[in-house]
Structure 1
């Protein structure tokens, strides 16, 4: 099972330089993928392209670009450019986004998100695979009167979706290559998420989807203090219905309840639980929450686990 980490250098003097440094450390630890979030700051596909170019061999990904306020033509240009820059090591994640950030940030209504996701994925698949599109949907149009192909990005870009709800999982199984569930514990994965997306993919005649589980966790000896800190950092997600639901399905009450915090033995056991629940890949986030020493300790363990699984 492949194991990676998210990289967050937003608190540094130069986010790009710091991200490259962190990526090199991740590769040296034996990790095979580095993922970048997308907010209103750094452009995630561009950041991934730079990091992937600077750190050969490391797979890089975006987790994840909200479909509201974007257009498939523009996202395809970003993704194909990153794919060409990294020689096939870029993975694009999309998300529904949230009502709060969509309406407050873009000033557009957060309506019919699943329908928009379906149209966005349909058009984006045409663009990333063929460099052209002729899509005329109810919510968006994507056509190419001039070519939209980026030389060097042949073969397409893996399309993943941060899907956890039933409707989003159905669309993702039909149209995407996999999913990026976050704060979804092994129970939610095994009993709800993996069966739903796998069934949708099978019904659409597609191969089994990738299940890239994003896990908030760290190796530390100061478990209670770190969990309380995580509770403060993750409280935002408890306001979002899709996250609140998946936390409950995982057996948790707060987001911090599904965080994986403990010593090496504890973390290794939890990684195995995610694998057994159907995760094909595990990506750890929040590994810097307990400080630099524990972050390095976490990455060292994850690198060992990755090596032991043959990835």
Structure 2
């Protein structure tokens, strides 16, 4: 059975965390299994989720995703374990990803020359620390000789933002699975699930989690919703990793991956994703007004 979650949008102003907490409480009250927050240029996602989850019980919270390059894996492990302590046992899932060359090199000034090696070595430091163990590692891109004393029980599960075959294999071998964005049902069915599942089986690991995140809008005016999606998500069509998934799906742009239509149409598309093998579907609700209410009502009906 596919677990249904929603994204949490950032807010402006001094009451931003209060409003985020209200959104998380609403998601919990509506019966969603999880709520996910991106980490781009606004609030620090882990800090924000620590605050909100500390005030709202039960619902899983996750990052989708925290970029790895701007912070050392030991610093991220320390922050994630602290956020998990605030949220409560078993509630935080740490989604991490490479981000994109244009951000890593142009904004932060780091080299994006060997992204797969970077992520492999990053996990070599991050994962032991998340499990509460010391780490001693010296690689080409990451080094660490450190032990954390951050309190906490158990481990913080990790999902890897993985789209290409080598990154999916890494996700299967070393983490709990993958969190996807801009990946349609055909791509999930023919590429993501077979690749990550086979790699997990070969490594003797459990069946990986596949969290699929897409824009969703329930409406009787799909043309207007499509136009809105075209404007809202156009940037993703110019980022190489997402462009590859769009091309693999055989569609023109990001808006074509949005799940748009009336309840029957949206339900059919979500059913296709379920048959493709996802374990979780996370909806980014992008419509406003009555259609926003209608979208949330329909998504809420799926949680039961």
Structure 2 CA distance for aligned equivalents of residues 149 and 244 of structure 1 = 42
Larger deviation, residues 293-302 vs 125-134: 293-302
- TM-score where L is the length of structure 2: 0.95
Checking the alignment, whether the CA contact within 8 Å between 1:3 and 1:306 is kept in structure 2 is yes
Structure 1 CA distance for aligned equivalents of residues 235 and 243 of structure 2 = 10
Instruction: Note the residue ranges of structure 1 that are not aligned, 5 or more in a row.
Output: none
1:80-115, Cα deviation, whole Å (9 max, x unpaired):
111111112000001111111112211222221111
Structure 1 CA distance for aligned equivalents of residues 213 and 281 of structure 2 = 6
Structure 2 equivalent of residue 162 of structure 1: 161
Within 5 A, what are the aligned runs for 1:1-150?
A: 1-11=2-12, 14-87=15-88, 88-144=90-146, 147-150=147-150
Checking the alignment, whether the CA contact within 8 Å between 1:194 and 1:211 is kept in structure 2 is yes
1:14–1:100 Cα change, 3 Å: farther
Select which of 290, 297, 301 maps to 1:293: 290
Larger deviation, residues 2-11 vs 29-38: 2-11
Checking the alignment, whether the CA contact within 8 Å between 1:64 and 1:95 is kept in structure 2 is yes
Structure 1 CA distance for aligned equivalents of residues 39 and 244 of structure 2 = 22
Within 5 A, what are the aligned runs for 1:246-265?
A: 246-265=245-264
| 1:71 Cα deviation from its structure 2 partner | 0.9
1:222–1:11 Cα change, 3 Å: farther
Structure 2 CA distance for aligned equivalents of residues 23 and 149 of structure 1 = 29
How many corresponding residue pairs? 302
Structure 1 CA distance for aligned equivalents of residues 137 and 186 of structure 2 = 38
- TM-score where L is the length of structure 1: 0.93
Structure 1 CA distance for aligned equivalents of residues 53 and 133 of structure 2 = 22
1:191–1:53 Cα change, 3 Å: same
Instruction: Note the residue ranges of structure 2 that are not aligned, 5 or more in a row.
Output: none
Structure 2 CA distance for aligned equivalents of residues 140 and 19 of structure 1 = 34
Within 5 A, what are the aligned runs for 1:186-225?
A: 186-225=185-224
What RMSD over aligned residues (CA atoms) do the two structures have, in Å? 1.4
| 1:11 Cα deviation from its structure 2 partner | 4.6
